[in-house]
A and B are shown apart, each in its own frame.
Chain A
């Protein structure tokens, strides 16, 4: 049961609109995004329902759902949206808001997805660039799934598909500094 009309203003809607630059109110619930989205079947709430939840101000339900984390930003939905809503931007907006407001989904897949992104960003921080094998290994270690994709590794290695080494770039130092400054900027908001 959802109760509406307790708040005078839908602050959640306003925050999402501001963050994403889109106007969720434009959504008239046609559902074209749902049948376009390649991963709507994996989402707790497909894009159309996410839009409706934002319209109703259901902040927590939106933040705790896996939907926004499953969005691949493929932009197929926004390209077909008859109201031209930038749905991926909305998804991105609620991801960022959830992180800012410290909401953490307990969905196992979401945890793996966010873990991956964290490791990826960590990798860039360390080397300035990304190294696939390290990436895979770290992901497996950190998600306690040591043997995931291990069957691919020998073949991929043998074929030179992925390489063991990594280049050290001059950029690494600059990037590390950027991370720090970016963090500071985010905190100062």
Chain B
């Protein structure tokens, strides 16, 4: 049994409940215990660092201080935005002990910051610490037949000197994870373009333009589903999709799912556990592609690989 400190983020209890819920199911299956930070607070999101200097550090720092108290090695974060804020803050604090001391002594009441905890996104945790082989071993229902476009957005891999995870331009971790579930990850050139993020409410024109382009490219790639690991990306791509369709006068109709929803499905949980009705763009039709192609039996795959390896040597 592995144990991690869990930071759900505000949207886990609102827009991305399905993410939070399926994440918990999946982690249980993978034998990971998630210990939620008691009394966590909002990371400050974009607003804090846009508008203020000290709060931008203090808000995530309070969570880091609380997380350290749980004495787990790793802190897993569901939301990409929370992950980024936490990680950026941690970098600032670790590089500037004076800053850490200053904020610690003047703003934070909950105790000392030590910089002992590892901050990872849940995607990163699955990929780096659980590993694809373990995930593969838990698959009871292959997703073969389903074509997915993996969308990472900005913050899971950027900036590189903050995240130290995957490629900032063409990451593959989620793609490999999906392939481990049996799905086919399509080539998708817009996997790290920005969706408009925090302009979700204040500047919808920009969001519709940026998300619209991402949807268009995903559609062209032949994917049935866009897979995401960030609540804000999900909501921009899903909730704004009808408006984008209206403005561009094109039918896109591509559902946007969390990677954990597809993991849960592959691990054998019934569809109702995925909380599909929460999706604005209906998912059910897309999921019917599963099983249209039989999964490749493991044996054949192995022989094929061996043959390929041999021919490479030649």
- Measured CB to CB, the residues of A under 8 A from B are 38-39, 42, 69-70, 72-76, 78-79, 86, 88, 92, 95-96, 99, 109, 112-118, 120-121, 124, 128-133, 135-136, 139, 148-149, 152, 155-156, 159-163, 167, 169-171, 174-175, 177-179, 181-182, 184-186
* Contact between chains at B197 and A171 (CB < 8 Å): no
- Asked if B252 lies at the interface with its beta carbon under 8 angstroms from chain A, I say no
**Is B198 in contact with A72, judged by CB distance below 8 angstroms?**
yes
Q: In the complex the two chains form, what is the Cα distance from A113 to B200 in whole Å? A: 10
Of B45-53, B67-75, B139-147, B285-293, the one with at least 4 CB within 8 A of chain A? B45-53
Q: Nearest Cβ in chain A — how far from B157, in angstroms?
A: 9
- Say yes or no: A129 contacts B239, CB within 8 Å: no
Which of B120-128, B272-280, B295-303 lies at the binding interface?
B272-280
A-B contact pairs, 22 of them (CB 8 A): A38-B210, A39-B210, A70-B203, A73-B49, A76-B193, A79-B159, A79-B160, A79-B168, A79-B169, A88-B159, A117-B51, A118-B47, A121-B44, A121-B47, A130-B10, A130-B45, A132-B15, A152-B239, A152-B243, A161-B235, A175-B62, A182-B107
B250 → chain A, closest Cβ, in Å? Answer: 19
Complex-state Cα separation, A142 to B243, whole angstroms: 23
Q: Mark B175-206, 1 if CB is under 8 A from A, else 0.
A: 00000000000000000111011110111101
B110 an interface residue at 8 Å Cβ cutoff? yes
Asked whether B310 is an interface residue with its Cβ less than 8 Å from the other chain, the reply is no
Contact between chains at B58 and A167 (CB < 8 Å): no
Compute how far the CA of A38 lies from the CA of B51 in the bound complex, rounded to whole angstroms.
21
| B52–A186 touching, CB < 8 Å | yes
Q: Which of B17, B42, B158 is the one whose CB lies under 8 Å from A124?
A: B42
Q: How far is the CA of A166 from the CA of B58 in the complex (A)?
A: 23
**How many residues on chain B are close to A (CB under 8 Å)?**
59
Partner pick for A132 among B14, B41, B59, CB 8 A cutoff: B14
Q: Given A86, A175, A184, which contacts B41 in the complex, CB threshold below 8 Å?
A: A175
Interface contact A159-B280, CB-CB below 8 Å: yes
Q: 4 shortest A-B CB distances, which residue pairs?
A: A116-B202, A117-B47, A74-B154, A74-B194
Report B242 CB to chain A, min CB distance, Å.
8
Known: A130-B42, A160-B278. A186 touches B53 (CB 8 A): yes
**Bound: A109/B204 CA distance, A:** 11
Q: When chains A and B are docked, how far (Å) is the Cα of A148 from the Cα of B204? A: 10
**B residues less than 8 Å from A139 (CB atoms):** 201-202
Shortest CB distance A180–B (Å): 9
| B220 beta carbon closer than 8 Å to chain A | no
Residue pair B278, A159 in contact (C-beta under 8 Å): yes
Residues of chain B from 17 to 41 with CB closer than 8 A to chain A in the complex: 17, 39-41
| Nearest CB of B to A174, in Å | 6
Chain A residues positioned under 8 Å from B196 (CB to CB): 38, 72
CB contacts (< 8 Å) of A152 on chain B: these are 239, 243
Which residues of B have CB within 8 Å of A128? 41-42
Instruction: Quote the shortest CB–CB distance from A166 to chain B (angstroms).
Output: 9
Smallest beta-carbon distance A142→chain B, Å: 11
Nearest B residue (CB) for A93: B53
User: Which residues in A have their C-beta under 8 angstroms from that of B48?
Assistant: 121, 124
**Inter-subunit contact A160/B13 (CB<8 Å):** no
A5 to B12, CA, bound (A): 54
Query: Contact at A72–B194, with CB atoms within 8 Å?
Result: yes
Residue contact B239 to A156, C-beta cutoff 8 Å? yes
